[in-house]
Structure 1
Amino acid sequence: CPAPFLSPNDFPSTGGYVPGRFCSNVTPELTCCLPCPTDKYLYSDGFVRSLEVGYWWNIPSFICQIFLLVTWLVLPPEVSHRHYLSIGICIFLTILHLSFIIPLGTKPDICWNEITPSDMNSDNSCAVSGGMLSLGAMGVGVWLLLRSLWIHLRVCWDVKETKVLRYAAHGVGIALPILFLGLSLGITGISYRLSTTCVPNDRYSFLTWFGWLTAFGCLATLIQIVTIFFCLWVYLRAFFRPGGESTLQSTAGSTIGKSAMEIDAPPRKKVAWKRVKSVLKSQWRSILLCIVVAVSTIFYGTVFIATGKVAGTTNKNSKELQEWALCLVLNGGDKTPCGSVAPIIGINEDAVRAVWPIAGLTGTLTFILMIRRDMLTGW
């Protein structure tokens, strides 16, 4: 194979994540692979640096989550406003951010050999960071769904909190993330696909992990939207209903007449508007929490789409990719004249570059939504 490409025949067929090699058939008899790590060839220098900087945003998010957890542990409930649904989200957010912080300290060698990325079986940092990412992300999705479902039951159906519901929520919130972690590790596996945190491999990843994560996030958002529209429908119905029993009549007693109806409309509309504002005021934190998790889901989707398109393009052996590879060979491995391969394989570097730090700030945004003045004065 011409430099910088390497022949897979010169390397063992075991060790690391062999399907993660970036290889293509030059001729029916010749297959060549890009050296590992492939990021420095496939993407622009600014793209790789942006991913590295994005990892550091997880540190303040991790600190914010620890502060919330310690506050709920130390301060009394009337001051800390602790609730098990909020605690569950924060615990798994802490695990999620740790999966990005660990590589900052371990500085893992993401390559098993010159063409093969490492996986959970060949690198301890990969096993730990990838396992925590799978567990943390799925846990956040599950607990957010439980939070949205509880708000819906409480507001729309006036369901009271019981020990049975509390224990059921704890069981589901702990068992489901562990179950999907086992599926990811046992069936899909994890490896270095993009940057220094391991993610689930392409094989069955949508069925065993990412598809469920997306479903939980979308379902939580849908339930939250239904809850808000239900509240608006109930309270605005009084706002637009002509005539009927007045607010003053229901309060004072029995008078029915034109004068009562005339003075009823403005107060009734004011009461309806106050109720709508009260509902929105009580729900805006949960609505924004759904948005935050949706942004995180977009981040994971971007990672999977990017890695999937890379593998699919090499298998298709596209003409554009061949031209890029030829340019790389003619320039002695210097990618500068050839440009980034990301547009060829359909990856929007700017979108990934923007999403990465936002994902790192998920914990900080959650902290802003959950912090109360009573917590600070309580300390």
Structure 2
Amino acid sequence: MDCPAPFLSDEYFTNEGFVDGRICSPLGNLTCCLPCPITQWAYPDSFTAMSTAANWVAVAGSVCCIFLLLSWAVLPVDKTFRHYLSICLTTAVLLMNLGFVIPLASKPEECYDAITPHSMSTSSICAVSGFFLIVGGWAGVMWVFLRSLSLHLQICWQLVVGRNFMWFSQALGWGIPAVGVVCALFLSGVSFRYGATCHINHKNSLADLWVPLLVFAGLTIIIQMTTFGYCIKVYLASLADNSASTEGSGMPSYTNSIRTMTPKQAYRRVRRVIALQWRGIAIVLIIIADVIFFSIVFVYQDTTVERVKQNPGVALPWALCLITNKGDKNACLNEASALAVSMPTVGAVLFLLGMNGIWLLFFLGRWSMFTGWRDLIISVPNRNKREFVSVDARLDDVKKDTRSYEMLSRDSGKTMDSSVTPSAVTPLSPTYARSSPVGGPARQNDYVWNNILDNNNNGNSGRRTPDFFGQTARYNAPVRSFSSPRPPQSVRWDPSETFARPYSPPNAGPGGYVNPLGMHKV
């Protein structure tokens, strides 16, 4: 005697794989089991296409998360307005999406044999996908909790969250998910149960995952609703505030502390905070709603399957329908609806989880990110182009330069480009064109400069620098002109030329000269 189709007897299979994942029921001396996977019998054929489409939505969400993380890492802060709460939340959602993307890329086998699903001990893909799904879900809940807590402290308690809160958030936001995923994998484990992604097993799952996860989700909702309640209270109080002191500036005065603000001033402060944080508030509500929805649906589905295992009579009408119709599952889908969550509900959960990355880009992304990437891509090819030529540019570069700017050598200051027109701008001073060594220090400096230019020109194989200033008229600068740097000249002030009274210090020498080192002699 054998089990009726489509059921299979477990005596033909070994006790390997995830044995607890089998759906079996005793039938006389036999133990008949439903073929693996269970979703193939409880849902229509379109279930596979629906789960694949949901995984592709998770791929799109992952691309959005990667775009945000790269923008925050590469672009300047004035383009992205990055914050560690946003960065960590996006990283958490990316980790959770990887739990759906990896099975889509690897296409793993869900079943170890005809009646036994794979577990994390028999399939590495199962272990990796289950790990990312759990740690991403944990981290997502923790970071929306911390974001909600940060907003509550700023609005309701007028606290400025700083570096201490940041380190506290990092320890809590990543420490608890690390502990939670270790407890979930060792106390419960993961296996292929609904689709190509591994989910946590029923054993101890309420204690090590679902209850703690729902506790933090509930705390997040309570904190968020408390913050909203406080905002409504401040708004209503501002409507009843008719004091004249609040008609002017909305900021508290220097003589009053922030706790003594009038209702209208408090309302303006809360309104400013909400105007800056509304994106974070929206994403917190969306992710918390998704997590709670997913948790309730999955716990209900898990409880239903366990009830069928413990009480096979619950599934007897469905089993008889399969036997009568010789394994035609489409004829028995109505009876299967009492044993599993409806496919639209499961599809809604999978699609909402995959869309979290898209919501992050919609709320946390800014148009300036796209313009910043555009500017970055456009500026990369121009980085190697020379915007201007420096004084110590090479001779080859100067020859290629078609602009009418005269270039100077690094050492002597001689001109490097003989094609410059006389109208070109030059840093040489007209006094350098003087050739006579007579006439004081200025003329002697000019003579030295001309000798240097002539010596350098003679060593350049006949190439000489044109003298653009040889034909210009000499310029005699006034004695007391300070319009350009000049060497010190021995010109003394004559009181007789002005209306000032002549005066000489007692220790002045001939000509009124005062020795600065002798001024302090006792």
| TM-score over 0.5 for the pair | yes
User: 2:238, 2:267 within 8 Å by CA — same for their partners in 1?
Assistant: no
- 1:161 alignment counterpart: 161
Correspondence for 2:25: 24
Contact (CA 8 Å) 2:37, 2:193: kept in 1 or not? no
Q: Distance in 2 between matches of 1:105 and 1:53?
A: 13
1:73-101 CA deviation, whole Å, 9 max, x = no partner? Answer: 11222321111111110111111111101
Match of 2:506 in 1: none
Mapping of residues 272-311 of structure 1, within 5 Å: 278-297=272-291, 298-311=293-306
1:313 aligned to 297, 302, 308, which one? 308
Corresponding position of 2:246: 247
Residue 10 to residue 129, structure 1, CA distance change in 2 (3 Å): same
Tell me, in whole angstroms, the C-alpha distance in 1 between the residues paired with 2:114 and 2:247: 81
- Residue aligning to 1:254: none
Deviation sequence 1:323-365 (CA, Å, 0-9, x none)? 2212212222111222254422252322222222122111101
Deviation at 1:215, TM superposition (A): 2.0
Q: Does the Cα contact within 8 Å between 2:138 and 2:180 map onto a contact in 1?
A: yes
Contact kept, 8 Å, 1:18 with 1:117, in 2: the verdict is yes
1:154-181 C-alpha deviation (Å, 9 max, x unpaired): 2211222332221111111111111001
Which structure shows the bigger proportion of residues in helix conformation?
A: 1
- CA drift at 1:276: 6.6
Return the letter of the residue paired with 2:58: N
Unaligned runs of 5+ in 1: 252-267
What is aligned with 2:388? none
> Residue by residue, what CA displacement relative to the aligned partner does 1:200-241 show, whole Å, maximum 9, x if unpaired?
101111111122222222222221221122122123212124
CA gap 1:35/1:102 in 2 versus in 1, 3 angstroms: same
2: CA distance, partners of 1:35 / 1:139: 35
- Paired residues for 1:360-379 under 5 Å: 360-379=354-373
Contact 1:295 1:359 in 2 (8 A): no
Instruction: Determine the structure 2 residue equivalent to 1:265.
Output: none
- Matching residue of 2:12: 10
| Cα distance in 1 between the residues matched to 2:133 and 2:122 | 18
- Provide the rounded CA distance (Å) in 2 between the counterparts of 1:224 and 1:285: 14
**Equivalent residue in structure 1 for 2:318, among 321, 324, 331:** 324
Structure 2 counterpart of 1:195, one-letter code: G
Residue in 2 that maps onto 1:260: none
Equivalence for 2:150: 150
Structure 2: distance between partners of 1:250 and 1:196: 60
Task: Report the aligned-residue RMSD.
Answer: 2.3
> Structure 2 unaligned runs (5+)?
251-261, 374-522
In the alignment, is residue 333 of structure 1 matched against residue 324 of structure 2? no
- Distance in structure 1 (CA, Å) of the matches to 2:78 and 2:277: 20
Any residues of structure 2 matched to 1:91-110 within 5 Å, and which?
91-110=91-110
Cα distance change on mapping 1:340 and 1:356 into 2, 3 Å: farther
1:250 CA drift (Å): 8.2
Name the structure 2 match of 1:214: 214
Q: For this pair of structures, how many residues does the alignment match?
A: 359
AA in 2 matched with 1:119: S
Identify the match of residue 349 of structure 2 among 355, 362, 370. 355
Higher mean displacement: 188-197 or 217-226: 217-226
What SS class does the counterpart of residue 57 from structure 1 fall into? helix
In 1, Cα distance between equivalents of 2:308 and 2:354: 29
1:66 aligns with 2:71: no
Task: Please state how far the C-alpha of 1:279 moved relative to its aligned partner.
Answer: 5.0
The answer on whether the counterparts of 1:94 and 1:136 sit within 8 Å (CA) in structure 2 is: yes
Q: Which moved more, 1:268-277 or 1:343-352?
A: 268-277
**C-alpha separation between the residues in 2 aligned to 1:75 and 1:281?**
24
- Higher mean alpha-carbon deviation, 45-54 vs 169-178, is at 45-54
**CA offsets, 1:270-317, max 9 Å, x none?**
988866754543343233212221332112432332133122123212
Q: Provide the C-alpha distance between the structure 2 equivalents of 1:21 and 1:216, rounded to a whole number of angstroms.
A: 33
What's the secondary structure of 2:330's corresponding residue? Answer: coil
Checking the alignment, whether the CA contact within 8 Å between 2:238 and 2:264 is kept in structure 1 is: no
Measure the CA separation in 2 of the matches of 1:209 and 1:343.
27
Aligned partner of 2:182 in structure 1 is 182
Instruction: Give the structure 2 partner of residue 255 of structure 1.
Output: none
Identity of aligned residues (%): 35
Following superposition, the deviation at residue 248 of structure 1 comes to 3.5
Q: Equivalents in 2 of 1:376, 1:250: separation in Å?
A: 37
2:312, 2:349 → 1: CA distance?
29
SS at match of 2:238: helix
Tell whether the 8 Å contact from 1:43 to 1:341 is kept in structure 2 after alignment. Answer: no
Note if 1:77 corresponds to 2:72: no
Give the distance between the partners of 1:285 and 1:377, measured in 2 at CA: 20
CA distance in 1, matches of 2:303, 2:320: 23
Are the equivalent residues in 1 in contact too, given 2:26–2:32 (CA < 8 A)?
yes
Where does residue 259 of structure 1 map in the other structure? none
Point out the structure with max Rg over C-alpha: 2
Once residues 130 and 249 of structure 2 are traced to their aligned partners in structure 1, the CA distance between those partners, rounded to angstroms, is 60
Deviations 1:88-133 (A, max 9, x none): 1011111111110111111111111111110000001000000011
